[in-house]
Chain A
């Protein structure tokens, strides 16, 4: 069963949802971007560590748009192609701040737990 593609996609979406949303919103902070651009930005921004599955990216983008955190418009790209550009809304900006705060808190807590020897100190 594990070899089948459909289920793998859906699992990924669920596992990564919160984090992926945050990463997308963070990427859009620097300006409007299209789907392909976002995936490339996350990849290069993370030093090629984070690969965004397109199977997760597009559902996430459409979900964020429905929630009102991003908005989209069709524009000409640098290569003179029509592409759908996403940009942050005010609500999205606000959401990003809280998500980021929570993320910082969590990663600090995890880092604290994982730091060797610290628990004995």
Chain B
């Protein structure tokens, strides 16, 4: 540019000067020839010519590169303006970096988790199949599907390209080090084909392999961690759950499958599966009215809409519904939606929160810039009088905002990167697709967009204000003592109100989240949480035949009870707060169904002392006892009793699960409600003796007075001495299980509260800045007031009143806005009304309180003004 300019730009400039000069001379000469006085002629020629500087500039614009030249000039100017007040620049850049960084980080999380399509072929054609809980049931979540139903779909469904079925399992791998429990999926042979993924080494399952437990496919992670990435493992046999399995394939690296309830209704361990084997369908699973124990994912044919497919899947069950009087309704959910379901609300909420914080940052910086430009009106007036166009003044301020935002944006990218790292390290494991979070081009585009947005937001008001000034007025009103126009004052205050309103909404949202969290923590879970240790065990090994399982369990219960400090020991097929399992319709076999009657219960298989160990209150009758042996009896929860026999004594009545093969059980007792999930009302529950079903996965429950660590160690050593091949997972206390169910919510609440606190700090910074400026501008006035004997308290009241007016306005607007916003996040609140009066009251005290402090400091400064100095302030 430099050389270019030297050769052409300078010449052109001189040319233009000369051209205009020539014009003026010619015009003047003609005037003189017409008889005008020479001096007069010169002046008239100039007047007629117009604003020489502006004409020169507009003409120069026509050359094209002048724009570039001017941009460089303006950039230098903007940079000088920023450098002139490093304090302001630091605050602006830092807050912008924080706002932009947080927003960018949050967006990359939302992008990776929610927006990006799943990494399966044509993933939009993948759907989860679930049972909708029957009308009138207390269950709020969808249920798994039935194996016999699956066979019907697989054979006949025309909308489906593939129908797959799977179930979680806990498989123990023996050999090559300590026995280890592996989260596994037992899958129909076409499971991977349905998802559209293939083993990287070896092959997929084939149809003949379904029904036999002798082939496995490993994930890349397991292959590396247990088999050192040895390729020759394919074709060899390994010992899984006590049986020899041939490894047929290894999945590609980087393949992450959903886990646990990311599949929707799911039975099995919640961890991401590491190993796969074909499903085996026991005869009991072939009962079309039997239990719902499987998850299913289907791939629709290209172009098939989910609605007709749902109708077809339902229609295929019509015969069963008629024949067995079962109630079943199938629903399809896009796999992507299902995988991200639990995190969708929280992530969008957090994105909204950081967006609001960014908005506050921008308004803040904009307001500070507005304040700063106010001291430049005079300069702007001079520039305009000298020929600067309004557009250029406008652009200058915007350029300044752009510079601040761009620096903030670049720093923000760094912060976002660091923030993401922290997020990934701290995020609860339940967040799906964490491995897909990263900063790709979409995130960079978003960051650029956010920077542009904040430039406009920061710069628009001050630029508009500066470009609107009238040169004469601003030159006349050059004295600092002049009071400002009312409008300028109002704009600043409106911006403060906006900040306060946004902060109010954020504070209320985080208040509601905190309250929900506290309510959940203290909700009656139905059992005594403290001092309970649990230990999962798995009997997925052929050596644990039915009878053996029973003997082992009873022996272990007796041994565990002798551990010092242990007061009661029981075992249960599924611990509380771990979701629904063994869900079945519930009937009284001694009477016909009332019209519209429908009850669905969770069945639990327990040892007699389970109730005491878990601390579940007995409401009526007795619990199961050792002496019951094989008598067909059951204990039900109060809710189940009330639903089946309203206002009758349930003791002595009979219950059975839906389906002809289910036995009739005599009710001997009623116990209190136990939550199946922390956030949901307790389901109806039926407790049966363990030996009736003898499930392959059980959990020991120990109530103890001793510390958890020594008891857990004793449990472990007892178990491993009883069966050295048993892989023993880490024991958990019930307190830990409660914490696990709260982990996601806790994380979300922490983040929301941190951002709301940041918003509060920013808003008070904004209030402080504006009031300080107002006080500084009014120093002479204050001086006069003090000189005339106004008491300090009066001055303070005046400043505080001026400062608090927009705060009160913003608070009112924020409260109104919060009513709308908190309705949107209703699904994430727990037993807290969106317009919770306590939260609103707290925020209505906290926010003005902080604002008052922010006003108080400058107000105090006003009272300390020395009238002598103040009057000389000019």
Contact = CB atoms under 8 A, between A and B. Distances in A.
A5 B50 contact: yes
Contact of A9 (B25, B27, B50): B50
A113 to B, nearest CB: 35
A53 B23 contact: no
A53 to B, nearest CB: 7
Nearest to B49: A54
Contacts of B29: 79
B798 interface: no
A7 B391 CA distance: 9
B22 A63 contact: no
Interface stretch (A19-27, A81-89, A94-102, A103-111): A81-89
Contact of B58 (A13, A36, A77): A13
Contact of A58 (B27, B55, B388): B55
A58 B19 contact: yes
Interface string A71-85: 000000101011110
A23 B835 CA distance: 70
Interface stretch (B60-68, B169-177, B696-704): B60-68
A118 interface: no
A17 B388 CA distance: 22
Nearest to B54: A6
B58 A9 contact: yes
A73 B456 CA distance: 45
Interface string B7-20: 00000000110111
A18 interface: no
A44 B16 CA distance: 25
B58 A10 contact: yes
Contacts of B49: 54
Interface string A26-69: 00000000111100100000000000011100110011001000
Nearest to A40: B30
A59 B26 contact: no
Contacts of A79: 26, 29
B112 to A, nearest CB: 48
Contacts of A5: 50-51, 54
Interface residues of A, number: 27
A5 B52 CA distance: 11
Nearest to B55: A55
A10 B16 CA distance: 19
A59 B61 contact: yes
Contacts of B23: 34-36, 54
Which among A34, A36, A53 has the greatest number of chain B C-beta atoms within 10 A?
A36
Given A5-B51, A9-B50, A63 B62 contact: yes
A3 to B, nearest CB: 8
B826 to A, nearest CB: 48
Contact of B15 (A4, A81, A84): A84
A9 B51 contact: yes
Given A6-B389, A34-B22, A66 B63 contact: yes
A88 B117 CA distance: 61
Point out which of A1, A54, A77 has the most chain B C-beta atoms below 10 A from its C-beta: A54
A84 B17 CA distance: 11
B339 interface: no
B63 A54 contact: no
Contacts of B18: 82, 84
Given A5-B50, A36-B22, A54 B390 contact: no
A13 B57 CA distance: 14
B41 to A, nearest CB: 14
A58 B49 CA distance: 11
Interface in B12-48: 15-16, 18-20, 22-23, 25-27, 29-30, 48
B615 interface: no
A54 B22 contact: no
Contacts of A6: 51, 54, 384, 387-390
A84 B22 contact: yes
Contact of A66 (B55, B62, B389): B62
Nearest to B50: A55
B19 A35 contact: yes
Number of chain B interface residues as a range:
20 to 34
Nearest to A66: B62
A79 to B, nearest CB: 7
B793 interface: no
Contacts of A58: 16, 19-20, 55, 58-59
Contacts of B51: 5-6, 9, 55
Contacts of A9: 50-51, 54-55, 58
A89 B206 CA distance: 81
Interface in B361-390: 384, 387-390
B26 A81 contact: yes
Contacts of B55: 9, 54-55, 58-59
Nearest to B470: A4
Nearest to B389: A6
Contacts of B30: 40
A54 B25 contact: no
Given A59-B58, A84-B22, A10 B63 contact: no
Interface in B177-209: none
Nearest to B23: A36
Q: Which of A4, A59, A62, A66 counts the most chain B CB atoms within 10 A?
A: A62
A116 to B, nearest CB: 38
Contacts of B468: 1
Contacts of B15: 84
Contacts of A83: 19, 22, 26
Contacts of A59: 55, 58-59, 61-62
Contacts of B50: 5, 9, 53-55
Contacts of B64: 66
A81 B25 contact: yes
B389 A36 contact: no
A36 B62 contact: no
A77 to B, nearest CB: 8
A6 B388 CA distance: 8
Contact of B54 (A40, A55, A82, A84): A55
A108 B49 CA distance: 34
Contacts of A63: 62
A21 to B, nearest CB: 12
Given A6-B54, A58-B55, A84 B19 contact: yes
Nearest to A1: B468
A105 B377 CA distance: 50
A54 B26 CA distance: 13
A39 to B, nearest CB: 8
A67 to B, nearest CB: 10
Contacts of A7: 389-390
Contacts of A37: 26
A38 to B, nearest CB: 10
Contacts of A66: 62-64
A71 to B, nearest CB: 14
Residue of B25, B51, B58, B387 ringed by the most chain A CB atoms within 10 A: B58
Nearest to A64: B62
A13 B58 CA distance: 10
B803 to A, nearest CB: 32
A62 B59 contact: yes
Nearest to B61: A59
A35 B23 CA distance: 7
A117 B297 CA distance: 79
Which 3 pairs of residues, A with B, have the shortest CB-CB distance?
A62-B62, A36-B26, A63-B62
26 contacts: A4-B390, A4-B470, A5-B51, A6-B389, A9-B51, A9-B54, A9-B58, A10-B389, A13-B58, A37-B26, A53-B50, A54-B23, A54-B48, A54-B49, A55-B51, A55-B54, A58-B16, A58-B55, A58-B59, A62-B59, A62-B63, A79-B26, A83-B19, A84-B15, A84-B18, A84-B22
Interface of B: 15-16, 18-20, 22-23, 25-27, 29-30, 48-51, 54-55, 58-59, 61-64, 384, 387-390, 468, 470-471
Interface of A: 1, 4-7, 9-10, 13, 34-37, 40, 53-55, 58-59, 62-63, 66, 77, 79, 81-84
